Each structure stands twice: as C-alpha cells, then as structure tokens.
A and B are shown apart, each in its own frame.
Chain A
Amino acid sequence: MSWNSPRQVIFPKWFDIAIKIVVVLVLSVVGYVHLLVAYGFSPKTTDVGYAPEQPIPYSHALHVGELGIDCRYCHTGVDRNSYSNIPTAQTCMNCHSKVKTDSKLLEPLREAFKEGKPVEWIKVHDLPDYVYFNHSAHVTRGVGCQSCHGRIDQAEVVSQIKPLSMSWCLDCHRHPEAHLRNPAQVKPTFMGFDTLTPSELKKFVNADNRDDYGRQVAKDLGINPPTDCSTCHR
C-alpha cells in the first residue's frame, strides 16, 4: 500500500476505484441474497413439483379423466369432513377384484387387502400441523379441486402444483373470485372450469369473464372469506 507520506495516512488513488468496486460488490451480494431467499427458500421452489413415488403408480388421468369416476367415490369425506380421506384398499377392490386381477403393479393392493391394511400411500399435499384446513368448507362453497390440485383429471402422477404457502392461501381469501363457481360444478366434468377462455365460459354460464362470474357466485352465496389469524391458526 503506497501512502502519500510516512505520517499522513490518506487514501491512495486506486482507492477511488476500489470503493466503486466494493459498492458494486456489496450491492450485488445483497441483491443475490435477496433473490436467493425470495426464490430459493420460497415454497414455490422447495415444495412445488413434489411427486413422491407411490407404492402403486395410480393414475388420476385414467380413473378420473378417462373413466369419469367422481372424486367422492374414493375421497368419500371430501365434502363432509375437514380432511379428504385416502381410500382404503377395500374401495379399490370394489373394482379391482374384477378388473386387472393379475396385474403385477397391483400386487401391493391385493397384499394390503388380504392383510386388512391400507395401502401405504405417501401424502403429497402436507400442510403444517399449525394450519387448520377444511376441505368441505371449500368444496361445498364452490372452490373446485382444480384451484389447489391443478388438472388432477389429467395427472398421471400426483404432484404438488401450488405452493400451499400462507400468502398463496391469503391471495385467494382476499380475491376469491377467480376460484369460485357454482358448487354444482365442483365435479370431474367441470375440472378445467377455472382456465376456460371467455368464449368457452359463455357455453356454461352467463358472464363475460371468469372473475365476473366468480363475483356473481360470491354475491349469491354470500361468500366473504375470513383473513383473521384464527381462521387457520386455531
């Protein structure tokens, strides 16, 4: 380091450039850390796309999309309970005692049925224990499966489509119109209702766009989603 004189310590010339470099560096590091936290730690990054390998490669696309089985055939409590139950082996065997009885892939099902145990499905949409979520409250008030689970009727493998973060919940509770429909339309045949183009939407309902229709539904049903802490954290 070359100081101007032995006694006076005054910054050398290169310090002017050094300061600029340091400022740019510090700003980039701060910016990088912000981006890292905002995107890297966000549930959009960490949780979306979670698709564990299930004991049986069950396809919703086949059962719902092609065969048109109602959600409630398997998830029997979804419109009556806070939780949406996963079917027991018996429910599966209603059909599979006759269909594909010798499929290798269904071996774990037959095993479970024989032992009287459920198939050990792996939970995909796992909310924290401090969150209270009620399926029936949403399903019976016009929030379709699609809003949280995406096009489950086209899903070969179930994966987490939405971040399920608190801000994501709040987005909908503050602006529910994009997700509200007539509760009668909460069924597989209307699965893609939320993503219809305005002209397609016209075929079903008398509204110019999705949000107008949602507002209409909210008005008719008196839906005013709460955003208090105690709504979900009880």
Chain B
Amino acid sequence: MSELANNFDNTFDDPTRRAPLITGQHNLTTITDTICGVVENKPPRIWYIAFAISFAIMSTLAGTIGYLIFAGTGVWGLNNPAAWGWAIVNFVFWVGIGHAGTLISAILFLFRQKWRTGINRSAEAMTIFAVICAGMFPGIHIGRVWYAFYLAPLPNQMDMWPQFRSPLLWDVFAVNTYFVVSLLFWYMGMVPDLATLRDRATSRVRQIAYGFFSLGWRGSNRHWHRYERAYLILAALATPLVLSVHSVVSFDFAVAQVPGWHTTIFPPYFVAGAIFSGFAMVLTLLIPCRHIFGLKDFITLRHIENMNKVILATGSMVGLAYATEFFIAWYSGNPIEQFAFQNRAFGHYWWAYAIMISCNVITPQIFWFKKARTNIWITFVASIFVNIGMWFERFVIIITSLTADYIPAAWDYYSPTWVDIMTFVGSFGLFMTCFLLFCRFLPMVAISEVKLTLAEQRHMEHIKQAYAEQAAEKGGEA
C-alpha cells in the first residue's frame, strides 16, 4: 500500500532517500484497476476527437503516396543537386524519434533505473510506430516502389545484389533489425499484462483476442522465470542496437564525399540527437496522456524531470557537436568544408539553421533550472520545440550540403511541394493513429513492473518519513 498523497512531491534531490515512483493511494488492486481501466472503460471524448483527426490525416497520406506512385517522384521538390529531399529528412527524423523507446526499455533496464517502469511501455510503442513511419519513407523515396524488394539481398538469376559496400544497404539491415527487436521486446514485455486484461475481459471478443496474444500466460513461477530471463537477454541484445542504428543512419551521410557530411563525428552526434528527439517525443505524447487517462500516479513529475535531464544532457551534446563541426571545418584548412559550414549558418538556408540552433541548443538549457524541469507546461512546450529543432537539424544537414557542394554551376535552391508537405503531415497521422489505438487497446503502463516498484516502495521506511515531513511542513504553513 502506497499511502502518498496525490500531490506528493517526489522530485526531491536528497540522495540519502530513494524517491517513491508511485504516488497517490495505491495497492496492487488499484494499480491494475487504473491501468486496465484505460482499456476497459469508454475512452474520454478527447480520444475520439484526436482519433478522428489523426485518421483523417492518415487517409490523406494514402492519397499523397498513391499520387506519388502514380505520377512519380517529380511531384516532390527534388531537383538535380538535391536528390534527397524531405523523404530522407523525414526518415532520419522518425528513426531518430524511435530511439528513446529502446533506450528506456533496454539501457535503463540494464542500469536498474526503476523509473523506466512508468514510461517504458508507451515509449516502446512510440518507437515501433516511429520506425514504421521511418521505414515508409525510403520505401516510397525509391520512386518505383514495386522494385523495393531490390533492397533485400535476394538470390536471383541475374546474380545482381545490393551494393554491400553501401551504407544505404547497411541501413536497411540496421532499421529492420531494430524494428524486429523492438517489436519483440515490446510484445514480450506485454504478455503478462495482456493476460491480466484477458482475465478481466467481459466480452467474448476481448477474452479471445487478449487470450490469443497473451500466449497462454498463467503467471506460474516457471513462466515468470523464463520471462525474466528472456527479457534480460532481449535487453542485452537491444542495447547495442540503440547505438548502432543511428550510427548506421549517420553513415548514409558520413561515408559520402559531400562537404558537411563527410565527418567522423557523425555517429555519436546522430545517436545523441536521436535520444534527444526521442525523449522529446515521449514527453510530447505522455504529458497529455497521463492527464487524459489519469496516469499521473505512475508517470509522475519525477519521471518527467528525469527525462528533462536526459534532454538537457543530449541537447548539450548535440550543441557541442554543432560547435565541433565548425571548429573542425576551420581547423581542417579545407576551403570547401569551410564554405559548407559558412553556407549552413549564413547561406540561403540560414533561417533553418537558426531554428535548429534555437530549438536544439538554446531551448533545453532552460532545464538547468529545477523549476522548469518540474513544470508541465514548460516541459511540454520545450519538448515540441525540440521536435521541431530536430526535424530542422536533418533538413539543414541534408539540404544545405546537397544544394551547394563542390561545383557552383550545379548549385540549386530546394523547396518542397505540397506533396512533400502533405506526406510529412500524413506520417504524423499514421503515427498518431497507431498510438491512439495503442492507448485504447493495450496496457499503456507496464502493470507487472510497476507493481514491483510498489512492492519495493512499501518497505522503504524513509519514504513514509518523507511523506510525514512533507505533510508536517504543509500543515505548518497552513
């Protein structure tokens, strides 16, 4: 039984006390009831509104993709130097967002960071949907989509293989591996909770559906033993993927000879950026969700503050990377490299660079202040700024480098068409539709894992003490 008030402040910094991760009046039953209630009760009206909007936007995506396939990539703003336009910007943007989920679920799991339990399920779901959106873009970017299978090294009578020396092929493998492992991790972690939903289900359809997907889970000791082993193994497998996938994505650029791309800093810089954007998206999604679905006791202010700390750290790393790029361009003595970076900051796309710097480097600095870290509104707005900034980072990298590389005669200005814009907006429709369906039909918080934190919390005398002190303080003030 957790006997903490709903307004209990668990963001205190006293290192001698472990902060409680579940607030409010909770025992094992109420945890199950609250989290399953999201799935079992009629969703709030805002869910229907959000779903209708998302679904409508997703439908336009089908239209723009259909038009693209019918008419060809000429309907996009691609031109001769800029053969990679918004499609690749969006790909890197989405795949970057997909990095928070596995970081939270795998790396924080291995580091025994208990606060992950409140957010890991929805972050993993977000990862999977983001990778789906990401995977879509290279697929349609190739133009003749019916040849997409050429991406895979299939034996054929032509002896024709993808170019194994090309990072674009490594990317196919990296993203696919990431998707499969993330999906397995997400699904496997959900099995005990699906069984809980199955056991509580009242309609036959739900009983059968959850029954099927919970794979006959009984909660026996042997089940739990196998489950925990498998979870640990998957976490160990997924951990290197968090670092490798965006490193490989960065090779798409770093291995090329284009000035502004050909730098060794790219892999760590991209990984930091990916985690940065991923956490921002987790916050953007979870801040409204915890409010709408009444999950504030499990996704507490402390969770949000922790994520803000990650955002501050990775945002500063990204800022350092931007500075390093400029330093190395100067230090290299290579005039073309130097021009590429001058052009980034002061060229035709200076406005994109300015948006990128103000959103990615300046905005997160506000999280040096605890007041900002623990303020929902500031966090929410900052997370949206970071999302915008990280999209512009990819835009800046891809477009400024491509449109002005070695030969001035080949330079051109790139601007998107309405199809580019609508496809990107449409991908948000796809993402949000998937996420809203997830909220509606699957347990948004890992019930069994949260219960484990509760069990530990119950035995912490000092938490009760902290609560008593806080209560006394408040009483004193009043």
Query: Which residues of chain A have a CB within 8 Å of any CB of chain B?
Result: 3, 7-11, 15, 38, 41-44, 163, 165-168, 170-171
B198 with A167: CB separation less than 8 A: no
| Residue from A3, A7, A166 in contact with B157 in the complex, judged by beta carbons closer than 8 Å | A166
| Cα–Cα, bound, A225→B169 (Å) | 27
Q: Could you list 6 examples of A-B contacts with CB < 8 Å? A: A9-B198, A9-B201, A41-B157, A166-B158, A166-B160, A167-B158
**Number of chain B interface residues as a range:** 10 to 19
Chain B residues near A11 (CB-CB < 8 A): 211, 215-216
Q: Across the two chains, which residue of chain A brings its CB closest to B207? A: A9
Q: How far is the CB of A71 from chain B (nearest CB, A)?
A: 28
Q: Across the two chains, which residue of chain B brings its CB closest to A167? A: B159
Q: How far is the CB of B199 from chain A (nearest CB, A)?
A: 6
Chain B residues near A167 (CB-CB < 8 A): 156-159
| Cα–Cα, bound, A8→B155 (Å) | 46
B211 with A165: CB separation less than 8 A: no
Q: Convert B158-177 into 0s and 1s, putting 1 for each residue whose CB lies closer than 8 angstroms to a CB of A.
A: 11100000000000000000
B198 with A165: CB separation less than 8 A: no
Chain A residues near B208 (CB-CB < 8 A): 9
Q: How far is the CB of B215 from chain A (nearest CB, A)?
A: 8
| Cα–Cα, bound, A7→B216 (Å) | 13
B211 with A166: CB separation less than 8 A: no
* Besides the known contacts A10-B216, A11-B215, A15-B216, 10 further A-B residue pairs in the complex with CB atoms under 8 A apart: A7-B199, A8-B207, A9-B208, A9-B210, A9-B212, A11-B211, A43-B157, A44-B157, A165-B158, A170-B159
| Residue from B159, B207, B212, B218 in contact with A7 in the complex, judged by beta carbons closer than 8 Å | B207
- Given the interface contacts A9-B198, A10-B211, A166-B160, does A38 sit within 8 Å of B155 by beta carbon? yes
- Given the interface contacts A7-B199, A8-B198, A8-B199, does A42 sit within 8 Å of B157 by beta carbon? yes
Identify the 5 closest CB pairs spanning chains A and B, nearest first: A9-B211, A167-B159, A166-B158, A165-B157, A11-B216
Residues 188-225 of B contacting A (Cβ, < 8 Å): 198-199, 201, 207-208, 210-212, 215-216, 218
Chain A residues near B155 (CB-CB < 8 A): 38
Q: Across the two chains, which residue of chain A brings its CB closest to B217? A: A10
Q: Across the two chains, which residue of chain A brings its CB closest to B154? A: A37
Most chain B CB atoms below 10 A, which of A7, A44, A171: A7
A10 with B218: CB separation less than 8 A: yes
| Cα–Cα, bound, A7→B211 (Å) | 10
Chain B residues near A163 (CB-CB < 8 A): 157
Chain A residues near B212 (CB-CB < 8 A): 9
| Cα–Cα, bound, A43→B157 (Å) | 8
Chain B residues near A43 (CB-CB < 8 A): 157
Chain A residues near B198 (CB-CB < 8 A): 8-9
Chain B residues near A3 (CB-CB < 8 A): 211
| Cα–Cα, bound, A7→B200 (Å) | 8
Q: Across the two chains, which residue of chain A brings its CB closest to B210? A: A9
Q: How far is the CB of A33 from chain B (nearest CB, A)?
A: 12
Q: How far is the CB of B150 from chain A (nearest CB, A)?
A: 13
Chain B residues near A42 (CB-CB < 8 A): 157
Q: Across the two chains, which residue of chain B brings its CB closest to A38? A: B155
Chain A residues near B158 (CB-CB < 8 A): 165-167
Chain A residues near B159 (CB-CB < 8 A): 166-167, 170-171
| Cα–Cα, bound, A166→B156 (Å) | 9
Q: How far is the CB of B162 from chain A (nearest CB, A)?
A: 13
Q: Across the two chains, which residue of chain B brings its CB closest to A11? A: B216
Chain B residues near A44 (CB-CB < 8 A): 157
Q: Convert B213-239 into 0s and 1s, putting 1 for each residue whose CB lies closer than 8 angstroms to a CB of A.
A: 001101000000000000000000000
Q: How far is the CB of A108 from chain B (nearest CB, A)?
A: 36
Chain B residues near A10 (CB-CB < 8 A): 211, 216, 218
| Cα–Cα, bound, A166→B216 (Å) | 50
Q: How far is the CB of A214 from chain B (nearest CB, A)?
A: 20
Residues 257-307 of B contacting A (Cβ, < 8 Å): none
Q: How far is the CB of B71 from chain A (nearest CB, A)?
A: 24
| Cα–Cα, bound, A163→B199 (Å) | 60
